[in-house]
């Protein structure tokens, strides 16, 4: 069987590598082994459920829309389905399936006891009033109410959604299911509504942490490897203690702005953020941008970065205004991709000069581009590893909802970093001994764990 999803090819390669490894599922021999692997392929390549519904939304101008919406439940062998709901005009069914598949593998990789799911609504949220977005959020829960719930499927924010939408959605869930537990039905809620401290910052903090941990902890321990591998990443990594590392960040939303601030205030690495971008512009300053001032600016301008010299000088920010895509092609040591998917593709990969790429968004580098960059010696810290901070703190939020007991922000970040460190300690050393790129290593780990669980559930016969 051919795996259909975008992640299918990497999953397939992981299965092929595991098939060769006789220590994996040793009870299965020859024909039985082939059969077990065929079962695995079919389980991983198809979601358990795809639900599509049209949300009927009366607009304030009197018109009525029927808006397509999806919830995909990929796999729940490890626990209830879990994954965000995105509001974006480019949402498509196959993309939601891909993202749900990634959630299954992400949760398994980090030992988060959830399966994988994802939702999407085909709208540009900027074109709707607050009241209309409220209706859309409520209708989403209404139409999918049978399949959602704290022990079934737990959505969270994703592109175009945040605390506000999760609060509305949980409110609707509570009205539909009176008397039933509801706090764990959605994560990423506001704190007054049972949200976890630190959830908003979790993804961005985790993204930066994966980079910091690689450079600060692994580079020194693996000097021999670096000396042997005179590639793009190795050159940057080896001398990073002698100079400031330059960082470019695509996207200045929840993930990008937090990763930028982490870099700006980092005590472990000497970094400067020389470029940030959003849907309108790239801002560049080779001396390093004033990230605190930029965050202050965006908080007063609906999340947008300054787009004119006048706006920059009024806020006392020194930067050069460039095209929004320019951030991708700057000569920086590190490029953090925290916007949307498919930003680096076969057609633009040759223009990328960065030596390390960190995927804050889901799927910002296509597989073809990933291969090309890895062959050129660029280190890519993949989405499945780098951006798991969000779902990890979602798990803490879900736990806190069950226990009705709350952790301090410090406790949340300590637990988050501990969990991510455990995963990285499993993955990073292998990067220095295996021929596989990090993404492949992560997939092999995740597929292996999931397969063992499926085997013990008796699903491979």
Binding residues for NAD(+): 203, 254
DSSP class of 193: G
* CB atoms inside a 10 Å sphere around CB 218: 18
Q: Which residue is nearest to ligand GLU (CB)?
A: 84
Any residues with CB less than 8 A from the CB of 354 and at least 6 apart, and which? 248, 330, 331, 332, 333, 334, 335, 378
Using CB under 6 A, which residues numbered 149 to 178 contact ligand GLU? 156, 158
In degrees rounded to 5, what are phi and psi of residue 356?
-135, 140
Joined tokens for residue 414: 């300590």
75 forms beta bridges with 116
DSSP class of 248: E
Active-site residue, selected from the candidate residues 2, 52, 118, 449: 118
**Does residue 204 interact with ligand GLU by CB under 6 A?**
no
Minimum gap (Å) between residue 51 Cβ and ligand GLU: 17
The residue behind tokens 């009525």 is 64
Any residues with CB less than 8 A from the CB of 90 and at least 6 apart, and which? none
Joined tokens for residue 202: 């979790």
Q: Which of 82, 88, 139, 205 binds ligand GLU (CB under 6 A)?
A: 82
Binding mask 318-357 for ligand GLU (x = CB under 6 A): ----------------------------------------
User: Given its phi and psi angles, is residue 95 left (phi above 0), alpha (psi -120 to 50 degrees) or beta?
Assistant: alpha
**Does residue 119 interact with ligand GLU by CB under 6 A?**
no
Nearer to ligand GLU, 158 or 326 (CB): 158
Nearer to ligand GLU, 83 or 171 (CB): 83
Q: Which of 8, 83, 360, 364 binds ligand GLU (CB under 6 A)?
A: 83
The residue behind tokens 């910002």 is 364
351-390 residues labelled b (16+ CB within 10 A) or e (exposed): ebebbbbbbbbbbbbbbebbebbbeeebbbbbbbbbbbbb
Q: Which of 84, 116, 150, 364 binds ligand GLU (CB under 6 A)?
A: 84
Minimum gap (Å) between residue 314 Cβ and ligand GLU: 35
In degrees rounded to 5, what are phi and psi of residue 334?
-120, 140
118 is catalytic: yes
**Does residue 390 interact with ligand GLU by CB under 6 A?**
yes
**Does residue 75 interact with ligand GLU by CB under 6 A?**
no
Nearer to ligand GLU, 277 or 362 (CB): 362
Cα 326 from Cα 425, distance rounded (Å): 34
Cα 169 from Cα 148, distance rounded (Å): 11
**Does residue 359 interact with ligand GLU by CB under 6 A?**
no
Minimum gap (Å) between residue 158 Cβ and ligand GLU: 4
**Does residue 249 interact with ligand GLU by CB under 6 A?**
no
**Would you list which residues are annotated within the binding site for substrate?**
82, 106, 394
3-class SS of residue 245: strand
**Does residue 76 interact with ligand GLU by CB under 6 A?**
no
Minimum gap (Å) between residue 388 Cβ and ligand GLU: 7
Segment contacting ligand GLU by CB under 6 A, of 81-89, 132-140, 314-322, 453-461: 81-89
Cα 82 from Cα 39, distance rounded (Å): 23
Nearer to ligand GLU, 28 or 87 (CB): 87
Any residues with CB less than 8 A from the CB of 106 and at least 6 apart, and which? 112, 116, 383, 384, 388, 391, 446
Nearer to ligand GLU, 76 or 187 (CB): 187
Q: Which of 271, 298, 362, 446 binds ligand GLU (CB under 6 A)?
A: 362
* CB atoms inside a 10 Å sphere around CB 174: 16
194-203 residues labelled b (16+ CB within 10 A) or e (exposed): bbbbbbbbbb
**Would you list which residues are annotated within the binding site?**
82, 106, 203, 254, 394
Minimum gap (Å) between residue 393 Cβ and ligand GLU: 7
Segment contacting ligand GLU by CB under 6 A, of 25-33, 48-56, 390-398, 411-419: 390-398
Q: Which of 394, 423, 440, 451 binds ligand GLU (CB under 6 A)?
A: 394
**Does residue 254 interact with ligand GLU by CB under 6 A?**
no
DSSP class of 365: B
**Does residue 194 interact with ligand GLU by CB under 6 A?**
no
Residues serving a catalytic function are 118
Binding site for ligand GLU (CB under 6 A): 82-84, 156, 158, 187-188, 362, 387, 390-391, 394
């Amino acid at each position: 069987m051919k795996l259909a999803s975008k992640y299918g090819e990497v999953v397939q390669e992981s299965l092929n590598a595991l098939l060769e490894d006789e220590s994996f599922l040793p009870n299965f021999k020859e024909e039985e082994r082939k059969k077990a692997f065929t079962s695995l392929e079919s389980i991983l390549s198809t979601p358990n459920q795809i639900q599509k519904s049209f949300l009927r939304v009366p607009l304030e101008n009197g018109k009525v829309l029927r808006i397509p919406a999806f919830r995909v439940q990929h796999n729940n062998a490890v626990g209830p389905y879990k994954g965000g709901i995105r509001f974006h005009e480019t949402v498509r069914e196959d993309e939601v399936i891909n993202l749900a598949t990634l959630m299954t593998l992400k949760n398994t990789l980090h030992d988060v006891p959830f399966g994988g799911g994802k939702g999407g609504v085909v709208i540009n949220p900027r074109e709707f009033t607050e009241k209309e977005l409220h209706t859309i959020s409520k209708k989403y829960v209404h139409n999918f109410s049978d399949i959602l719930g704290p022990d079934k499927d737990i959505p969270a924010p994703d592109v175009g959604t945040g605390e506000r939408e999760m609060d509305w959605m949980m409110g609707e869930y509570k009205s539909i299911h009176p008397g039933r537990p509801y706090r764990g039905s959605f994560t990423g809620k506001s704190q007054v509504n049972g949200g976890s401290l630190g959830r908003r910052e979790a993804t961005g903090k985790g993204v930066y942490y994966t980079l910091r941990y690689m450079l600060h902890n692994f580079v020194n321990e693996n000097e021999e490897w670096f000396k042997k591998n005179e590639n793009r990443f190795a050159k940057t990594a080896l001398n990073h203690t002698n100079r400031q590392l330059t960082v470019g960040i695509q996207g200045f939303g929840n993930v990008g702005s937090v990763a930028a601030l982490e870099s700006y205030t980092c005590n472990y690495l000497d970094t400067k953020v020389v470029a940030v971008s959003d849907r309108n512009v790239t801002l560049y300053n080779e001396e390093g941008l004033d990230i605190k001032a930029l965050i202050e600016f965006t908080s007063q301008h609906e999340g947008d970065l300054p787009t004119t010299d006048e706006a920059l000088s009024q806020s006392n920010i020194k930067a050069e205004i460039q095209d929004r895509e320019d951030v991708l092609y700057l000569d920086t040591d590190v490029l953090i991709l925290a916007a949307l998917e498919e930003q680096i593709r076969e057609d633009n990969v040759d223009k990328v000069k960065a030596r390390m790429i960190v995927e804050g968004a889901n799927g910002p580098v296509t597989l073809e581009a990933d291969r090309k960059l890895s062959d050129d010696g660029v280190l890519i810290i993949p989405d499945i590893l780098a951006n798991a901070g969000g779902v990890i703190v979602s798990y803490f939020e879900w736990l806190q909802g069950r226990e009705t007991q709350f952790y301090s922000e410090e406790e949340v970040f300590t637990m988050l970093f501990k969990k991510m460190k455990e995963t990285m300690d499993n993955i990073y050393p292998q990067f220095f001994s295996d021929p596989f790129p990090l993404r492949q290593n992560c997939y092999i780990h995740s597929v292996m764990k999931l397969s063992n669980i499926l085997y013990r559930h008796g699903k491979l016969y």
